[in-house]
Structure 1
Amino acid sequence: MEKRCPIALDPTGRDIHAEAARLRQLGPTQVELPGGVVVWSINDYALARRLLTDPRVTKSARKHWPAFTDGRIPPDWELISWVAMDNIATAAGSDHMRLRRLVGKAFTPRRVEAIRPRVVQLVEELIDDLAATPPGEIADLKTQFANPLPARLVADLIGMPEAARAATAKVIDMMVDTTVTPETAQSILAGWRGAMEDLIAAKRREPGEDIASDLIAARDEDGSRLSESELTDTIFAILGAGSETTINFIDNALTALLTDPEQRRLVTSGEATWEQVVEETLRVHSPLAHLPMRYAVEDLEVGGVTIPKGDPLIINYAALGRDPALHGDDADRFDVLREDKEHISFGHGPHYCLGAGVARLMATVSLSTLLARFPDMELAVPEPELVPLPTFIMNGHRSLPVILQPALVPATA
């Protein structure tokens, strides 16, 4: 195969779907990340699904990325937080299974259903706040609804107080921003670790009925089960993964419905279900795009190329559900009545998202309640004016300005 120069991913995320379509046509191809780091990008659904369960592909940079272990990746690399963590997202093999068993106890179907009343309460509180917006004035559903709902719920599950949650949210926002400077990248790493250490210290003094306390107890019962760095980094991973992806998930679902009156009518009339909206949103508008990072344990022959042992690769989830090989020529069209909505936006294989049930619960409750409360809601700007997040890691918007209800029309005499 003809050797190509690496394609630099657009760190601003201006058009991730067009970029994904171009990359898919190239097959497995090398792309350049900030800092000149070259990795393999996977945009084909069938290949991604296979690699996500291939034992020759790992998520452990410490064991299988020579550039990282040899010090060729500097500590201020722009994406250092994504590989320097020591948690459920970066562990592999027996270490990953050990962490997954501990964390998974908080996300069983029974526990997910038990938090439904809290989800309903949070949704209603946020909608009541939105209802105070005067008719005809603009509200931002990203900052006033999609953002605080999962952020507050996940913080509750972890046992994090509101002040700490608000401060940590800023760190998470910077962590997914692929336009940050190396100096900011270093401060992000120090910032979130410091915040998690403070939370852990507080929970050791006063344990509660929450995930952080459960993980601390598991470690303190048997120090070999959970190291201090695993404890710190896993709590942060739950907070970040549980909030940031769901924020964009809700944002993308609302955007899809508000820009397509027929799709919106199908669901509000009952001809389509909210579950169908959720799955089609995940397929077409995955909240996650390129996810750093996995590593080849040995040479891999895939898609007509060889990925050498030790090379990093990233799966482009934003491309997978739109793959024409899976969903035909209209794969990029949002259609809630589409019969086949197959996707792997929650992952596939050993690292399948433990919080998928919680995310689906939040989405169905929040979307159905919001549109029932504001049936005349509409975007306040044309869709092309919605500004994407400055990242190739996440897929969402900076803001989602809407008119919740029409302006009051003065009565005529």
Structure 2
Amino acid sequence: MLKVYKLCDLDPGNIKKLCTRNTDVNNDIRKTVDDIIQRVKTGGDAALKEFSEKFDGITLDELYIGKKEIDALAFKVGNSEKQAIQLAYNNIWKFHEAQLVKEGKIETTAGVTCWRETRAIEKVGLYIPGGTAVLPSTFLMLGIPAKIAGCEQIIVCSPPQKDGKVNAYLAYCAQLLGIERIYLIGGAQAIAAMAYGTESVEKVDKIFGPGNQYVTKAKTIIQSESQTAIDMPAGPSEVLVIADETANPVYVAADLLAQAEHGADSQAVLIADSQLIIDQTIKELDKQLPALPRHTIAAKAIANSYAVLTASLDESMTFSNAYAPEHLILATDKWESLLDKIINAGSVFLGHLTPESAGDYASGTNHTLPTSSYARAYSGVSVDSFVKKITFQHISRAGIENLGPAVEVLASLEGLDAHKNAITVRLK
């Protein structure tokens, strides 16, 4: 059952508590992940194989499958599935390709020219979850911008299936992306392998991909303790739906459940200025939930979720910005009036006919997004995530004469005489 609160009854402390999720109060997750990381650092491939037996129930002779096996698996995908994946591939490519923008040169002072140029990150690691659900869509969401950016080396890790291989749909995505090796590694151990390298897995410069709390914790640890960067702390998925009297409770319930079926630790939040909509949505949840194949998982997530009754759409928007959701759905005819008020959100879905599922798969936007309120500071994955922007400058004779004296003054007031001298010798 979805818990219901009234915003007028909540003080700031209660609101903060409602907006807090996926905490590791006793550091239990941290301790487990620290141990996994250390064992991978010292044990390499042997440790990865041990973890595969422990967590996946698979004994691996090889830690990866190559092109021949990928092609054989991809051959099993039916035509209708191939067409759907190809449509998603095309839309995602089209949306992300437009993000490649060449910046112009700027003359900041006469004779002083500055500009930025884009360079791809050379080695990137993609983590494709494969626990309770296999996500070929995530492979596309990460692989396509990596290819567009021009990354030289793309390492892909995904947990093995019970047959010791990967899902055929992942293999087909690998074909489309030109990926010829998939490492059969999941969980925090996959993050550690890509961060530090093993005999088989090459160390990467940046790691991408969502995962459970263990994967997310591993990413945050390696970001602070290794020379490997991460895209963001993308943990268990979440959605927040803002609804008013124009909302369709059937649609709203379906959207909440679409998020809830991701995992038991997912969260689906309804914020509405209508008690009737909340009541009708709860009735719809009770109708739709039992029919889902993953109803047990979804039910646990719904039990971990809630609804909040507000006095207005403006109040609903204020709560949403405090929550900073990964996915925000505006289930209202008045969505245009709310656009400028959205401050914190990973990806936004507007109106009654724009379900979050469209963005998860095929509309073109990226579904790898910041969770757990990190939307306050992080953006979702894009081509920008796979590149660096390097600044350049060139100063002519006129430029050093125009700019030099000011730099000498600034260096003097900071007491950095060698800085000043680097200008002075040129001016002389």
TM over 0.5: no
Q: With structure 1 as the length reference, what TM-score do the two structures score?
A: 0.25
User: Of the two, which has the highest radius of gyration?
Assistant: 2
Q: With structure 2 as the length reference, what TM-score do the two structures score?
A: 0.24
Identify the structure with bigger relative contact order (alpha carbons < 8 Å, sequence gap 6+): 1
